[in-house]
Structure 1
Amino acid sequence: MQVGNRVLYDQDGEIIFQSGEMQGDVLPRKNITKLDVVDFDFGSIDYTKYRIVRMDTETKKPILEEIPQTPEKQQVKEVEDALLLASDKEAGGIL
């Protein structure tokens, strides 16, 4: 199957996105009947922990999915937590 390039552009003709041409074992293009835009404030979503998987079309809010930690990141977190607890214990803290 061959699928041509899809171009999304704004009211001034500036190109926002191009899908590029595809061929081979690709899915047919979805027919888009409505397109919306939502702008999120900078820092409102922690993209190191979450990704947007969909948008709720009624509330216009993102549906987030937690990004699973790699085993290495999980191990680093556990070591950091252990060090924090140990240093807090030495200092007589309240953790």
Structure 2
Amino acid sequence: MTRRTIATCLNFVLPGAGLWYLSHPAMGFVNLLIAIAAPVIGLLLFPEHAHYALLAVAAGSAGFAHAFSTHKTKKENREAANDSSLVPR
């Protein structure tokens, strides 16, 4: 499995864990705080639909980790391509 897939799975199980796995613990902690706050606010405002908030937070958190790792991978690939073009042949 790729790091992106592992991060996505980790974030789906525990919001923020995938970002922590990708060496971004501060972003992971913020993600966890948002994931805790969103369902609590949803429960207070719409108690009959609170379970949807939990599912939305889990899916959104996993999607965020996947998007973050994809962006990071593309950036690293661009930097590697630029560095390799400077090497004389």
Q: Same fold (TM over 0.5)?
A: no
Q: Looking at CA atoms only, which structure, 1 or 2, has the larger radius of gyration? A: 1
For normalisation by structure 1, the TM-score amounts to 0.29
Which is richer in strand?
1
Higher relative helix content: 2
Structure with larger RCO (C-alpha < 8 A, sep 6+)? 2
**What's the TM-score once normalised by structure 2's chain length?**
0.31
